[in-house]
Chains A and B, each alone.
Chain A
Amino acid sequence: MNEIKQVSGSGVPLLLDDIDTDRIIPARFLRCVTFDGLGEYAFEDDREQDPNHTFNNEKYRSGSVLIAGRNFGCGSSREHAPQSLIRWGIKAIIAESFAEIFFGNCTALGTPVVCASRDDLEKLTKLVEEDPSREISVDIESKKVTSGDFECDITILDSARNALLSGQWDFMNLLLENEAATREASQKIPYLNQFAT
């Protein structure tokens, strides 16, 4: 079991809203049969058009705690999006809110994604911009983000929090253990049993 109670690292500020997964990893990079190598293409098109994009900025290159806005990861279900961020170096994301499929994908990969208020995200962004090397700690257990004197509350779905804390985020083994119950459940589903009453 790989229990995840707390993640820390320096910040990567990207406080923008409605960032969709096409922008995180444009579709042409999905032409692949492994996730290896996706890290270098994270935000490829945004970086190309904006030399000052966070992911172009050397100051943040060693960062691992991404700070984002509302509805982060909306759009396509592509797991390539969290996979590319993780391979770039991201270990946790703090945002105002997340799209659900993206949230589930991150949790299934053992990457904590947590919500904080806009006000706190703005404060944290300012601190990181002033000192990119400052350490940020995302504590799943106490539901707090701390960085030096800064501290704020975070929210995370209980089920995701429990999965991370217990190390059961890698759900495959857990689901496999219930094979007998799965077969039993299938017996009561009408369309799998010729609608026998």
Chain B
Amino acid sequence: MSDTQNLFNKVWDLHTVSTLPSGQTQLFVGLHLIHEVTSPQAFAMLRERGLKVMYPDQTWATVDHIVPTDNQARPFADALAEEMMSAIEKNCREFGVTLLDLDDDRQGIVHVVGPEQGLTQPGQIIVCGDSHTSTHGAFGAIAFGIGTSQVAGVLATQTLALGRPKVRKIEVTGELAPGVYAKDVTLHIIRKLGVKGGIGYAYEYSGEVFDRMTMEERMTVCNMSIEGGARCGYINPDQTTVEYLRGRPNAPQGEEFEKGAKWWLSLASGPDAEYDDIVTFDAADIEPTVTWGINPEQALGVSENIPDAADYPQEDQAGIREAYEYMDLQPGQSITGVKVDVTFIGSCTNGRISDLREAAAIAKGRKVAEGVKALVVPGSQQVLKQAVAEGLDKIFEEAGFEWRAAGCSMCLAMNPDKLKGRELCASSSNRNFKGRQGSPTGRTLLMSPAMVTAAAINGCVSDVREMLEPVGV
């Protein structure tokens, strides 16, 4: 492998099966993850054509989007959700795919489960019928979301057709200040590069800030790549990656692990690696970041005021005004003090154990403000189990949070967890689109789990940096 090749191109070349007449590359898929929402039609396509799943061992399924997080007794109260559960159970059984179902303690949000079970590994090409598949890039895998027709194609052929994107290196240098988390880094990048800035690119995140991050923090950053328009984002594998994978159930074991680790580390982009573009940010410029509008680039530092449309290029001004109206916020207004009705901690962005620990550290000894509905939803059954072992569930419950079972919950509201009417939600999820959290007029402010906790306790958007000292004891 050439020294000038970045990780993306090494992995791409390794998985190339053929160049199709259209000019696209036919890529081998190393890990195919599926869930109940985007797979039923794909299995139907296989049945119509009389096809089988070509590599069932490289295909793993779980259920997450539609599962209720309170009462999980079957059949579900929602008949449509129950029908989808039955469909994935039947499809996996008939096609020989392993399903981590609700009665399996490995179940959870697909992007939490893959890494947790050691399925996600460096150097793989990973696809899933879900745009947040970019999460798995944290391991130095090339991971991206696909549509249902492509899911059918991957099931039947273990390959997909794709044009090679360009690669942009995003460096963040320096050190994050206390109270500034991985979520703030990714929101800051999207704010600066825009929601369409990444179209046509894969993002490589590198530099001191990412080098120091844990795997869970790296997953939060890569998760949001798609919100910046980049179909995938990755971080070069290093010793942190290797140690995370050591001993995981589906990771290689023993001598094979050591061989694997050596190969994984060899994939990292070297100092002479070439890129199509390089962008650098200084960690010192990043403060706790909050979205105020209706897409993830409409964000600001918590100490800033809501921007004036006139400060934007002409072409963006209509969108900014639309956001003021929908959110019922005014230019010049401070984001701190904006009253919240609901708070949500969870999702494939921020539903891992470290997220719950950060939130619990703020919640401990404090109380959720009166009138605020506060949810904590672990990203998987394993995260839930670990949180209970550490007593985090008790901390949350004593503070007045609702402690739920694993699932996607209020990130996208395909299950009973939804906003009502014009409710405003401080959320650790990934999208603040109009209607995203289940009410067509509901409003979402994206922020870190610690910032969501601060909002729950004060009943309004607050600067978590003022709450980092433990209370009482």
Select which of B84, B121, B263 is within 8 A of A33 by beta carbon. Answer: B84
A194 interface residue, CB < 8 Å from B?
A: yes
CA of A70 to CA of B231, assembled, Å: 17
- Say whether B252 contacts A31, CB under 8 Å: no
Q: Which of A42-64 contact B (CB under 8 A)?
A: 45-46, 48-49
Q: Which residues of B contact A100 (CB under 8 A)?
A: 199-200, 229, 231
- Say whether A77 contacts B196, CB under 8 Å: no
- Say whether A172 contacts B131, CB under 8 Å: no
- Say whether A45 contacts B434, CB under 8 Å: yes
Q: Which residues of A contact B200 (CB under 8 A)?
A: 100
Least distance between A120 CB and chain B CB atoms (Å): 15
Of B153-161, B181-189, B359-367, B453-461, the one contacting chain A is B153-161
Least distance between A46 CB and chain B CB atoms (Å): 8
Q: Which of A20-51 contact B (CB under 8 A)?
A: 20, 22-23, 26-28, 30-35, 45-46, 48-49
Q: Which of B340-390 contact A (CB under 8 A)?
A: none
CA of A147 to CA of B200, assembled, Å: 30
- Say whether A75 contacts B431, CB under 8 Å: yes
Least distance between B467 CB and chain A CB atoms (Å): 32
- Say whether B78 contacts A31, CB under 8 Å: yes
Question: Given contacts A99-B196, A118-B315, are A191 and B121 in contact (CB under 8 A)?
Answer: yes
Number of A-B contacts (CB under 8 A): 218
Of A123-131, A137-145, A156-164, the one contacting chain B is A156-164
Select which of B55, B146, B196, B435 is within 8 A of A101 by beta carbon. Answer: B146
A79 interface residue, CB < 8 Å from B?
A: yes
Q: Which residues of B contact A31 (CB under 8 A)?
A: 66, 78, 80-81, 84, 414
- Say whether B146 contacts A75, CB under 8 Å: no
Question: Given contacts A33-B84, A100-B199, A182-B28, are A189 and B15 in contact (CB under 8 A)?
Answer: yes
Select which of B26, B124, B252, B259 is within 8 A of A178 by beta carbon. Answer: B26
Least distance between A182 CB and chain B CB atoms (Å): 5
Closest to A161 in B: B22
Given contacts A175-B153, A181-B17, A189-B30, 6 further A-B contacts (CB under 8 A): A22-B435, A32-B84, A74-B295, A75-B131, A101-B131, A178-B159
Least distance between B429 CB and chain A CB atoms (Å): 12
Select which of A20, A34, A197 is within 8 A of B433 by beta carbon. Answer: A20
Q: Which residues of A contact B440 (CB under 8 A)?
A: 26, 45, 48-49
Q: Which residues of A contact B123 (CB under 8 A)?
A: 190-191
Least distance between B282 CB and chain A CB atoms (Å): 27
- Say whether A33 contacts B160, CB under 8 Å: no
Least distance between A71 CB and chain B CB atoms (Å): 4
B168 interface residue, CB < 8 Å from A?
A: no
CA of A118 to CA of B199, assembled, Å: 18
Least distance between B442 CB and chain A CB atoms (Å): 10
Interface residues on B, range: 35 or more
- Say whether B131 contacts A76, CB under 8 Å: yes
Number of interface residues of A (CB under 8 A): 65
CA of A185 to CA of B226, assembled, Å: 28
CA of A185 to CA of B58, assembled, Å: 15
A89 interface residue, CB < 8 Å from B?
A: no
B247 interface residue, CB < 8 Å from A?
A: no
A134 interface residue, CB < 8 Å from B?
A: no
Select which of A27, A28, A101 is within 8 A of B147 by beta carbon. Answer: A101
Q: Which of B29-52 contact A (CB under 8 A)?
A: 30, 37-38, 40-41, 44-45, 49, 51
Closest to B130 in A: A77
Least distance between B265 CB and chain A CB atoms (Å): 12
Q: Which residues of A contact B78 (CB under 8 A)?
A: 31
Q: Which residues of A contact B318 (CB under 8 A)?
A: 17
- Among A48, A71, A105, A175, chain B packs the most CB atoms within 10 A around the CB of A175
Question: Given contacts A74-B229, A77-B129, A100-B231, are A172 and B83 in contact (CB under 8 A)?
Answer: no
B406 interface residue, CB < 8 Å from A?
A: no
CA of A46 to CA of B130, assembled, Å: 23
- Say whether B414 contacts A27, CB under 8 Å: yes
Least distance between A76 CB and chain B CB atoms (Å): 5
- Say whether B22 contacts A160, CB under 8 Å: yes
Least distance between A35 CB and chain B CB atoms (Å): 6
Select which of B80, B131, B150 is within 8 A of A32 by beta carbon. Answer: B80
A150 interface residue, CB < 8 Å from B?
A: no
Select which of B23, B196, B319, B441 is within 8 A of A74 by beta carbon. Answer: B196
A135 interface residue, CB < 8 Å from B?
A: no
- Counting from the closest, the 9 A-B pairs by CB-CB distance are A79-B147, A105-B147, A77-B145, A45-B440, A195-B259, A31-B80, A33-B40, A79-B148, A175-B157
B87 interface residue, CB < 8 Å from A?
A: yes
CA of A171 to CA of B156, assembled, Å: 12
Q: Which of B78-117 contact A (CB under 8 A)?
A: 78, 80-81, 83-84, 87
Select which of B24, B44, B229, B435 is within 8 A of A45 by beta carbon. Answer: B435
B206 interface residue, CB < 8 Å from A?
A: no
Question: Given contacts A31-B80, A100-B199, are A105 and B433 in contact (CB under 8 A)?
Answer: no
Closest to A81 in B: B147
- Say whether B17 contacts A172, CB under 8 Å: no
- Say whether A101 contacts B263, CB under 8 Å: no
Per-residue CB proximity of B55-78 to A under 8 Å, as 1/0? Answer: 100100000011000000000001
CA of A185 to CA of B162, assembled, Å: 16
Q: Which of B246-298 contact A (CB under 8 A)?
A: 252, 256, 259-260, 262-263, 295
